[in-house]
Amino acid sequence: MKTEKLIPIKKVALKNNCPECFSKNGLQLVFKQKFVENSFHKSITDAISYEINCDTCNSIIYPERWTDDIERMFRYQRKAFTPRPTSRAFKNLFWGMVITGIVLIFAGIILCAQFL
């Protein structure tokens, strides 16, 4: 079981005109970072994705629709953005298996030692 999620970690309101509805106060640039979780661990990856959406007309503005101004703001904001540090946290199931593994190895060594 593996789940991958893009979690929004920063939102910036852009002062640009929306290419869809021309509103000047609806555009938002959203930075998302990919989180991966499976039975053994939870990780924050370095995969970042960006999305611009408009609150006024509720649409996602895809890069093909970006104007030069939006493109410029995006580049500027991307430079100013610091992603979360990547990390990996192991879950109890993982440690349980590690400990079971170590116990089995020791049991094996003790058993072998008896036959020497």
70 touching Zn ion, by CB under 5 A: no
Interacting positions 14-43 with Zn ion (CB under 5 A): 18, 20-21, 26
13 touching Zn ion, by CB under 5 A: no
109 sits in which H/E element: helix 92-115
Instruction: State how far the Cα of 56 lies from the Cα of 26, in Å rounded to an integer.
Output: 5
Instruction: State how far the Cα of 24 lies from the Cα of 26, in Å rounded to an integer.
Output: 6
Nearer to Zn ion, 57 or 98 (CB): 57
Nearer to Zn ion, 45 or 59 (CB): 59
Instruction: State how far the Cα of 54 lies from the Cα of 61, in Å rounded to an integer.
Output: 7
48 touching Zn ion, by CB under 5 A: no
Q: What are phi and psi of 82, to 5 degrees?
A: -115, 115
Nearer to Zn ion, 44 or 70 (CB): 70
57 touching Zn ion, by CB under 5 A: yes
Binding site for Zn ion (CB under 5 A): 18, 20-21, 26, 54, 56-57
